[in-house]
Amino acid sequence: MQFITSLLKGDFFTGGKAAVAKPSGRLRVGILGTGKIGTDLLIKVQRSPYMECVIFAGRNLQSAGMQHAVKLGVPVSDKGVSVFSDQSCRCDIVFDATSAAHHIEHAQIFDQLGIFAIDLTPSQIGECCVPALGISEALENKNISMISCGGQSSIPLAYVLASLIPNISRLSLKSVVSPDSIGPGTLANIDEYYRNTRAGLYKYTGINTIDIELISDEAHTQKPMLNTLCAYADAIDMVALRCALLDMEKIVQAYVPGYKLQSEPISIDGGVQIVLTVEGVGDYLPTYAGNLDIINCAAIAVAEHYAQARLAAHQERPLGRRRYQTMVLDY
């Protein structure tokens, strides 16, 4: 069993605070969808040294998100996706934080305009990407799917399980989230959530039988996302598994600081159980909305990787040290 420990010892993984070379320019970014997710994304983009938000687009100029963008001095529009056809709003990257049904239409428009699209809906149109397991897809595809909150939180650990445990017969994932962190978009896309989470888990593990459950915790409205992931198999090396899970936790924490294993892996009847919490960083979303924040953090990691490559190519010099590296553990 071989770990890429150099990833954990270097400057890449310092909770998102690694020293990076200052770029000579920034990529132009648009955000489509002005709800809580889109507004939180805006704050994260504003903090990035590689991107500049040039348009924050939706349908209601009076929405809380629009008003917040105006306070930040960010250009806004109520023309929705059509604004990106305006040359004055030319973008290199667009984050789509609308709905799965709408992204089906939006994806075609972005493709025609040559815009790199990061899909925060569970539309399953683009290439699934989990930054901890490699983001080379960001340089090979024009539409990247961030899967779902359940997918981004569970897939890194499921990848470790599948890598170390032979013949896993079944995976089960139960995610418990605050009702205050489930918006109308999530409810409207619940079938797509289950389908996309299952597809993402299958892509990275090869396991066919996967049970998915999403629960709204009405009794504890301000508790962070809680995931319980179980793998069912006959033979499990708990010592090796424990070390590998801790390594993966550190890798994900590089871009999701609130990602935390709650205990060592636990033996259960017929398999092993892992319990994980995800707490948000508290930009615009509350810290208990880790289920929303993890998608945004992952999306920013992909966007910054893409932006650094584009900026380096424009400057015609080697990329150098990156904040987010293509990461694959070899067990």
Q: CA-CA distance, 16 to 306, in Å (whole number)?
A: 16
Q: CA-CA distance, 272 to 257, in Å (whole number)?
A: 25
Residue with tokens 């629960």: 215
Q: How far is CA 308 from the centre of its chain?
A: 18
Q: For residue 149, indicate whether it is catalytic.
A: yes
Residue with tokens 């209601």: 60
Under 8 Å between Cβ of 290 and 280: yes
Backbone angles phi and psi of 266, in degrees to 5: -115, 130
Work out the angle at residue 323's Cα, subtended by the Cα atoms of residues 321 and 325, and round it to the nearest 5 degrees.
80
Q: CA-CA distance, 194 to 245, in Å (whole number)?
A: 24
Q: CA-CA distance, 25 to 297, in Å (whole number)?
A: 22
Of the residues 129, 149, 230, 297, only one is catalytic, namely: 149
Active site (catalytic) residues: 149
